[in-house]
Amino acid sequence: MTSVHGTFDRRAFFGGIAGSLGRVALASLLPGLSGCASSPREGASPSAQDRARRGPQFAPRARRVVCLFQSGGMSHVDLFCDKPAIRDHAGEELPPSVRGTQRVTGMTSGQASFPVVPPLEKGRRCGESGLWISDLLPHLQGVADDLCLLQSLHTEAINHDPGITLFNTGNQLPGYASMGSWISYGLGSENSDLPAFLALVSQGSGKNPGQPIFSRLWGNGFLPASHQGVGLRPGRNPVLFLDDPAGLSRAQRRAQLDDLAALNARHAERSGDPETIARIAAYELAFRMQTAVPELVDTRGESAWTLSSYGPDVQRPGSYAANCLLARRLLERGVRFVQLFHRGWDQHVALSRQLPNQCRDVDQASAALLRDLKQRGLLDDTLVVFATEFGRTTFSQGKLGDPSSGRDHHGRCFTIALAGGGVRGGVEYGATDDFAYNIVRDGVHVRDLHATLLHLLGLDHEALTFPFRGLDARLTGVEAARVVHEILV
């Protein structure tokens, strides 16, 4: 981006324009202008000193993040919990002492019976660490020693919209900035030809269509729009409006941008307008993005071995596997935050059919991404977050054994996995009761995860703030949040 504020970046500016206009001529325009190129209306309007303080506040463990978000509520009960009691009591009522008085959604609150459903498949203890993972995820079983399983995530949200909004923006209600925006705001980009934050969406083969998702999940909220996540879409036009209009050659566009730069520079000189200088730079970056993005999404240069490691779906643009490969290509280009959303994990119905499909969608590609990053030496400073908005109930939604039955939402505890980027591999943190229903030890709230994630990036979650609605707003919100130091290397 032009800068972390999307306004003006001296280096990008000279890099792009020098060839067209001449460094000296432009340099003469800059003194006195560059310090205030930020628009006066921009909420932050940081002074030059503030911007100089951008970047990590202490030594980061991770330089970039990829979040593989399993949208809809991935079943911790089926995939990551080795609980003999659940198998032993299959079909019996979930003991009221376990179920307690916690609220359930409007979908099961009317049920008279809450029978325990055993995990759909067997699982095994994997690798040297012995982490238990379901046989529905055979490839992830193979990378268990790189994973840190957080067994005790929890959230107050029990429905998708508030749940997924909380996970991605730190608040159940709309209006807040997404994780990636915060990180773009805090750290800026390491690639001057690509945005700092990209979002990729895929549709799963479990529930189709999956629960709706929202642009607020990668939105800038109250942060400047330059920190918006940019959607990277499959197909010929991966970024909206990227392609020149049909009928126009690149040479024509280049010449046109030179014209624009010359006219704008003249105007900037006469009007004393720093924003116009910044706009020249923005157009140059746009031009470079038009080359950088197609190069990014052109995976023909990937080896056959790499492609096959991600599984056959990698050949299908827009699939989760294809997006995982793109994520690696983005990360190795220094993109700060890559967010995947894979829809379809909402197994209220037909869990026995939908869940294996969902797992097949993501298992091989997620493991391949981890291995690929590792092999390229990127995993050490890339944090991989394999997460979801909540888990699913141990009890059945619908009649036990009915092919139409499934599991309802469960926010009281659920499992996510972290890898790389300063997190210990092959460990498990937090514990739930025998029915994977309540946390018994070391609960991790979603905001604790946010604090930990920022910490790994060298950012203090209490100090990364933005003034909004009378408060110094932060990703972790107003409640106390804790960095989970126990899982850090």
Please give the single-letter amino acid code of residue 153: L
Choices 141-149, 330-338, 345-353, 362-370 (CB under 8 A): range interacting with another protein: 345-353
- C-beta closer to another protein: residue 463 or 489: 463
For residue 136, the Cα-to-chain-centroid distance in whole angstroms is 23
Choices 118-126, 197-205, 417-425, 447-455 (CB under 8 A): range interacting with another protein: 197-205
Residue 96, both tokens: 């009221």
**Minimum CB distance to another protein, residue 417 (Å):** 25
**Minimum CB distance to another protein, residue 150 (Å):** 23
H or E element in which residue 468 lies: strand 466-468
Q: Which of residues 1-20 bind another protein (CB under 8 A)?
A: 1-2, 5-8
Beta bridge partners of 67: 339, 385
Residue 295 interacting with another protein (CB under 8 A): no
Please give the single-letter amino acid code of residue 26: L
**Minimum CB distance to another protein, residue 210 (Å):** 8
Q: Which of residues 98-137 bind another protein (CB under 8 A)?
A: 103, 105-107
Residue 178, both tokens: 């997404």
Q: Which of residues 300-319 bind another protein (CB under 8 A)?
A: 312, 316-318
**Minimum CB distance to another protein, residue 306 (Å):** 19
Please give the single-letter amino acid code of residue 332: E
Residue 400 interacting with another protein (CB under 8 A): no
The answer to whether 382 touches 64, Cβ cutoff 8 Å, is yes
Angle among Cα 283, 289, 292 to the nearest 5 degrees reads 155
- C-beta closer to another protein: residue 215 or 375: 215
Task: Tell me the CA distances in angstroms from 226 to 12, 349, 470, one per residue in order.
Answer: 15, 40, 22
* Rama region for 488: left / alpha / beta (φ>0; ψ in -120 to 50; rest): beta
Give the binding-site size for another protein (rule: CB under 8 A). Answer: 130
- C-beta closer to another protein: residue 53 or 485: 53
Angle among Cα 165, 171, 172 to the nearest 5 degrees reads 55
Q: Is 82 helix (H, G, I), strand (E, B) or coil?
A: coil
Among 25, 27, 225, 440, binds another protein (CB under 8 A): 225
Q: Give the separation between CA 412 and CA 100, rounded to whole angstroms.
A: 11
Among 32, 84, 96, 110, binds another protein (CB under 8 A): 32
**Minimum CB distance to another protein, residue 489 (Å):** 25
Give the residue from 387, 390, 389, 455 showing the smallest Cα distance to 423: 455
- 3-state SS of 185-253 is HHHCCCCCCCCCEEEEEEECCCCCCCCCCCHHHHCCCCCCHHHCCEECCCCCCCCCCCCCCCCCCHHHH
Residue 95 interacting with another protein (CB under 8 A): no
Among 82, 121, 161, 442, binds another protein (CB under 8 A): 161
- C-beta closer to another protein: residue 129 or 352: 352
Residues 6+ apart with CB under 8 A from 109: 103
Among 250, 266, 376, 441, binds another protein (CB under 8 A): 266
Residue 200 interacting with another protein (CB under 8 A): no
The answer to whether 304 touches 63, Cβ cutoff 8 Å, is no
Choices 116-124, 239-247, 382-390, 439-447 (CB under 8 A): range interacting with another protein: 239-247
Pairing state between β 444-445 and 382-388: unpaired
**Minimum CB distance to another protein, residue 47 (Å):** 9
Residue 98, both tokens: 């376990």
Residue 28 interacting with another protein (CB under 8 A): no
- C-beta closer to another protein: residue 114 or 185: 185
- Measured in residues, the chain has a length of 489
Choices 146-154, 214-222, 387-395, 442-450 (CB under 8 A): range interacting with another protein: 214-222
Choices 129-137, 261-269, 378-386, 424-432 (CB under 8 A): range interacting with another protein: 261-269
Q: Is the peptide bond before 209 cis (omega within 30 degrees of 0)?
A: yes
352-381 footprint of another protein as x/- string (CB under 8 A): -xx--x------------------------
Q: Which of residues 430-489 bind another protein (CB under 8 A)?
A: 460, 462-467, 469-472, 474, 478-480
Please give the single-letter amino acid code of residue 275: E
DSSP per position, 250-308: HHHHHHHHHHHHHHHHHHHHHHT-HHHHHHHHHHHHHHHHHHHHHHHH-GGGS-HHHHH
Residue 158 interacting with another protein (CB under 8 A): yes
**Minimum CB distance to another protein, residue 470 (Å):** 4
